[in-house]
Structure 1
Amino acid sequence: MGETKLRSGRIGWDWFPFVIVFASLIFLLWPTLEGIFSRWLKFDESYSHGFLLLLVSVVLVFRVVRLRTPVPGFYPFWLVPFMLALLAYGLGDLLRVQALQHLMVVPLILGALAVLLGWKQVRWFIAPVGLVFFAMPVWDFLAWTLQLITVEINQLLLGLFNIEFEVEGVFVYLIGVGTFEIAHGCSGLRYLLVGQSLSLIYGELNLRTLRARVILFATSVFLALFANWVRVFVIIYMGYETDMQTGLIEDHDSFGWWVFAATLVPLFLIGRRLENSKGERATDAEGGVNESEAHSGGSSARLKVGIAITALLPLMVWFVLPSSDGAVKSEPMALNIELDGERFAPLFSKNLEGWRPRVRNPDRVYVQTLFDRSLATDQSGFDESLFAAVYSYDYQRESAELIQYSNRVYDREEWHPEAFFTLSGPDGAPMKGITLRHRITGDVIHLAYTYYVEGFWETDDLRAKLAQVRGFVNARSDASLIVFGVSCDDCNGKDRLSEVVHSMMEDVVASVDKQVLQKKRGES
Structure 2
Amino acid sequence: MNDATAINTETATPVPVTVAPGWRVSLIAWAVLVTAIILLFWKDSADIVSQWWNNATYQHCLLIPPIIAYLVWQRRAEVGQLTPRPFLPAAALLLVGGLGWLLGQYAGVGLVRHAALVGMLIVSVPLVFGLTVARGLLFPLFYALFMIPVGDQLIPALQMITADMCIFLLDLFDVPAFIDGVFIYIPTGSFEVAEACSGVRFLIAMIAFSTLVAHLCFKSTLRRIVCVVSAIALSIIANGLRAWGTIYIAHLTTPAFAAGVDHVVYGWFFFAFVMAIVLGVGWFFFDRPVDDPAFDPRRLQPRTPAIPLSKAFGIAAGLGVIAIAAAPVYGMLVGERAADQQTAMIELPDVSGWTKVPTQGSGWQPIYENASASASQSYRDAEGRQVDLFIAIYDRQDDEQEMISYGNGLFEPDGDWSWAQNLANPPGGRGVQLQRVPYIRDVWHYYLVGDALTGSDYGAKMATLKTRLLGGPTRAATIIVSSEHRDSSVNNVPAIADFVGALGDLQAALDQAAVAEAVAAE
Q: What's the TM-score, normalizing by structure 1?
A: 0.70
Q: 1:3 to 1:267 in 2, by over 3 A?
A: closer
1:99 and 2:111 aligned: yes
Matches within 5 A, 1:80-95: 80-95=92-107
User: Contact 2:449–2:464 at 8 Å: present in 1 too?
Assistant: no
The equivalent of 1:47 in structure 2 is 58
For residue 146 of structure 1, the aligned residue among 158, 162, 166 is 158
Matched, 1:276 2:267: no
1:402 maps to which residue? 403
Instruction: Look up the SS of the partner of 1:192 in the other structure.
Output: helix
Query: In structure 2, which of residues 464, 468, 473 is the aligned counterpart of residue 472 of structure 1?
Result: 468
Q: Deviations over 1:169-227 (max 9, x none)?
A: 222222x2222222222222222233223323334444445444333222322232232
Secondary structure of the residue that 1:232 maps to in structure 2?
A: helix
**Secondary structure of residue in 2 paired with 1:85:** helix
Contact 2:447 2:477 in 1 (8 A): yes
Matched with 1:316 is 326
Q: Is 1:360–1:399's contact at 8 Å kept on the other side of the alignment?
A: no
Per-residue deviation, residues 51-96 of structure 1 (Å, max 9, x unmatched): 2332222232333344422543232454454443332222111101
Contact 1:199 1:216 in 2 (8 A): yes
Aligned equivalent of 2:202: 191
**Counterparts of 1:275 and 1:452 in 2: how far apart (Å)?**
54
Residue type at the aligned position of 1:269: G
User: Quick one: higher RCO (CA 8 Å, sep 6+), 1 or 2?
Assistant: 2
Q: Secondary structure at the match of 1:41?
A: helix
The residue number in structure 2 matching 1:288 is: 297
Match of 2:68? 57
Secondary structure class of the residue paired with 1:138 = coil
Letter in 2 for 1:312: I
Task: Report how far residue 335 of structure 1 moved.
Answer: 0.9
Aligned residue number for residue 133 of structure 2: 121
After superposition, the Cα gap between the structure-2 partners of 1:297 and 1:396, relative to the gap in structure 1 and judged at 3 Å, is: farther
Which whole-Å CA distance do the structure 2 matches of 1:245 and 1:484 have between them? 37
The 3-state SS of whatever aligns with 2:44 is helix
Q: Is 1:511 the equivalent of 2:522?
A: no
Q: Deviations over 1:83-126 (max 9, x none)?
A: 43332222111101012222334332222223334444324434
Alignment of 1:208-227 (within 5 A): 208-227=219-238
* One-letter amino acid matched to 2:85: G
Q: Which runs of 5+ in 1 are unaligned?
A: 327-332, 341-346, 372-379, 423-430, 519-524
Asked if the contact 1:146/1:187 (under 8 Å) is kept, the reply is yes
2:31 pairs with 5, 13, 19, which one?
19
Distance in structure 1 (CA, Å) of the matches to 2:305 and 2:408: 55
**Helix, strand or coil for the counterpart of 1:185?**
helix
Percent identity, aligned pairs only?
Answer: 18
Q: Which residue of 2 aligns with 1:522?
A: none
Does the residue aligned with 1:396 lie in a helix, a strand or coil? Answer: coil
Contact 1:359 1:391 in 2 (8 A): no
Equivalent pair of 1:227/1:263 in contact (CA under 8 Å): yes
- Note closer, same or farther for the CA distance 1:140–1:338 as it changes in structure 2 (3 Å cut): closer
Decide whether the 8 Å contact of 1:275 with 1:281 is kept in 2: no
State the distance in 2 between where 1:8 and 1:239 align.
Answer: 65
Q: Which one of the candidate residues 32, 38, 48 is aligned to 2:50?
A: 38
How far apart, CA to CA, are the structure 1 residues paired with 2:192 and 2:436?
22
Amino acid corresponding to residue 465 of structure 1 in structure 2: K
Distance change (3 Å), C-alpha of 1:139 and 1:396: same
Paired amino acid for 1:122: A
The DSSP-based 3-state class of the residue aligned with 2:190 is: strand
What is the one-letter code of the residue matched to 1:47? Y
Q: Partners in 1 of 2:133 and 2:109 — Cα distance?
A: 33
Q: Map Cα deviations across residues 261-311 of structure 1 (whole Å, 9 max, x no partner).
A: 33333422344333337xx79987634366427936965554443332222
1:497 corresponds to? 503
Q: Distance in 1 between matches of 2:430 and 2:164?
A: 36
CA distance in 2, matches of 1:433, 1:203: 41
Name the residue aligned to 2:179.
167
Deviation at 1:241, TM superposition (A): 1.8
Taking the aligned partners of 2:294 and 2:500, their CA distance within structure 1 comes to: 73
Tell me what 2:487 maps to: none
Q: Measure, in 1, the Cα distance between the counterparts of 2:443 and 2:129.
A: 61
SS in 2 for 1:451: strand
Mapped partners of 2:269, 2:480: distance in 1:
54
Mapping of 1:122-137 within 5 angstroms? 122-137=134-149
Question: The residue matched to 2:516 in structure 1 has which SS?
Answer: helix
Larger Rg: 1
Q: Distance in 1 between matches of 2:158 and 2:312?
A: 49
State the distance in 2 between where 1:29 and 1:353 align. 46
Amino acid at match of 1:321: G
Matching residue's letter, 2:75? V
Map of 2:372 onto structure 1: 364
Q: Is the 8 A contact 1:396 1:477 kept in 2?
A: no
**Which range moves more in the overlay, 179-188 or 49-58?**
49-58
Corresponding residue to 1:451 among 448, 451, 454: 448
AA at the equivalent of 1:320: Y
Mapping 1:273-422, distance limit 5 Å = 273-276=284-287, 286-288=295-297, 291-292=301-302, 295=305, 301-322=311-332, 335=344, 358-362=366-370, 364-365=372-373, 367=375, 391-398=392-399, 400-404=401-405, 406-408=407-409
Contact kept? 1:89, 1:100, Cα under 8 Å: yes
Q: Distance in 2 between matches of 1:157 and 1:338?
A: 52
Listed as ranges, the gaps of 5+ residues in structure 2 are 5-17, 337-341, 350-354, 484-494
Change (3 A) 1:65 1:18: farther
Q: What TM-score comes out, normalization by structure 2 length?
A: 0.70
Cα deviation digits, residues 156-176 of structure 1 (max 9, x gap): 2222222222222222222x2
Cα distance in structure 2, aligned partners of 1:387 and 1:220? 46
**Counterpart contact for 1:325–1:397, Cα < 8 Å:** no
Q: Could you say if the C-alpha distance between residues 267 and 465 of structure 1 is closer, same or farther in structure 2, counting changes exceeding 3 Å?
A: closer
